[in-house]
């Protein structure tokens, strides 16, 4: 199972917890956490399609020290 799928599973679990919670504060908190996991799933899918290559920038030639006025 990839990370996007895992995040969706967590979102479903928190959605179920929100529905089962008796206190409105818990319902709101669990629903917000579920939404966050759904956003993470979307980002994980997007990142899985991205190929990132980091290249070290070239070194700059030494500059002479600046004089203070």
Could you tell me if residue 18 is inside a domain? yes
| The pLDDT of residue 34 | 98
Could you tell me if residue 12 is inside a domain? yes
Could you tell me if residue 23 is inside a domain? yes
In this model, does residue 50 exceed pLDDT 90? no
Distance of CA 59 to the CA centre of its chain: 33
Could you tell me if residue 61 is inside a domain? no
Task: Copy the structure tokens of residue 26.
Answer: 């818990």
Could you tell me if residue 29 is inside a domain? yes
Could you tell me if residue 55 is inside a domain? no
Rounded (5°) CA angle 60-66-69: 160
Q: Into how many domains does the chain fold?
A: 1
In this model, does residue 7 exceed pLDDT 70? yes
φ and ψ at residue 37, rounded to 5 degrees: -65, -35
| The pLDDT of residue 69 | 67
Q: Structural domain of residue 44, as residue ranges?
A: 3-48
Residue 14 near residue 38, CB atoms below 8 Å: no
């Amino acid at each position: 199972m990839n990370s996007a799928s895992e995040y969706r599973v967590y979102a479903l679990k928190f959605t179920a917890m929100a529905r089962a919670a008796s206190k409105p504060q818990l319902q709101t908190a669990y629903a917000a956490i579920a939404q966050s996991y759904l956003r993470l799933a979307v980002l994980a899918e997007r990142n899985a399609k991205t190929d990132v290559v980091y290249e070290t920038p070239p070194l700059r030639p030494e500059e002479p020290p600046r004089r203070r006025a």
